[in-house]
Amino acid sequence: MGSSSAAAPPWKQLLLSSIQANSHLKHHSYFQLATVSSNNRPSNRTVVFRGFHDDGDEILINTDTRSRKINDLKHCPFAEICWYFTESWEQFRIRGVIDVVDGTTPDPLKLQQREKSWFASSLRSRMQYLAASPGLPAIASSEQPPSLDPSVGPVAAFGLLVFDPHEVDYLNLKSNERLLFTSAASVDAQKLWTSEKVNP
């Protein structure tokens, strides 16, 4: 409420606390990402949380540009994250818009972030982007796995998804409380967040 909330989204601290509280669990950094396919049907998959973009509220996700979600996002850029924390019984449903950053993106700042995300990935993760196209029929190959120079930048198949949240629906099943955070643009194009307590 007020201009100060543009700098610090009120749900972000809640989310960071949940990540912290569940950090001893394997895969606390996984969530499910829903999109709409070009046939207008829903699509849903598990992806890895790669942190926030700088100090803002945009969520980073790495992806293979050959995967179906890229086509989904060209058709409809809206997405919903469902992030459930099994230990603390908290759910974050995060609604927003995804910007796909690949090697053809003209914006140098976005390309820089893509490169940063590439080098922040393990070598094993990077190797996946050299593998055969995901989802296509598997053909047995006698070829040696490709080698990858650790100093080489992102390959063509490496894409960065920048998820810009507009609304966050937070549910705490222990306290049986639910909060709905919604954003509106201020005159200087900053997001202004407000929250409302709703029935769980």
Among 59, 79, 100, 101, the residue binding its own copies under the rule CB under 8 A is 79
3-state secondary structure 27-57: CCCEEEEEEECCCCCEEEEEEECCCECCCCC
Task: Cite the DSSP H helix spans in 85-130.
Answer: 108-120, 123-127
Name the segment binding its own copies (CB under 8 A); options: 1-9, 126-134, 148-156, 186-194.
126-134
Q: Judged by CB under 8 A, does residue 133 bind its own copies?
A: yes
Q: Which residues contact 141 (CB under 8 A, 6 or more apart)?
A: 132
Of the pair 25, 152, the CB lying nearest its own copies is at 25
98: CB partners within 8 A, 6+ apart: 35, 73, 77, 78, 79, 161, 162, 163, 164
Q: From the list 82, 127, 148, 192, which residue makes contact with its own copies (rule: CB under 8 A)?
A: 82
> Given the DSSP bridges, would you call strands 59-64 and 158-172 parallel, antiparallel or unpaired?
antiparallel
- For its own copies, the binding residues in 159-198 under the rule CB under 8 A are 178, 180, 196-198
Q: Which stretch binds its own copies (CB under 8 A): 54-62, 81-89, 112-120, 155-163?
A: 81-89
Asked if residues 71 and 64 have their Cβ atoms less than 8 Å apart, the reply is: no
Provide the greatest CA pair distance for the chain: 62
- 31/111 with CB nearer its own copies: 31
Beta carbon of residue 46, minimum distance to its own copies (angstroms, whole number): 4
125 touching its own copies, by CB under 8 A: no
How many angstroms separate the CA atoms of 26 and 34, rounded?
A: 22
When asked if residue 116 is in the footprint of its own copies (CB under 8 A), the reply is no
Dist. CA 54–CA 72, nearest whole Å: 26
The residue within the footprint of its own copies, chosen from 7, 8, 131, 152 (CB under 8 A), is: 131
Site string for its own copies, 11-50 (x = CB under 8 A): --------------xxx--x-xxxxx---xxxxxxx----
Question: Residue type for 61, please?
Answer: I
In whole angstroms, the minimum distance from the beta carbon of 111 to its own copies comes to 27
Question: Which residues are at the interface with its own copies (CB under 8 A)?
Answer: 25-27, 30, 32-36, 40-46, 76, 78-82, 84, 86-87, 91, 93, 95, 131-138, 178, 180, 196-200
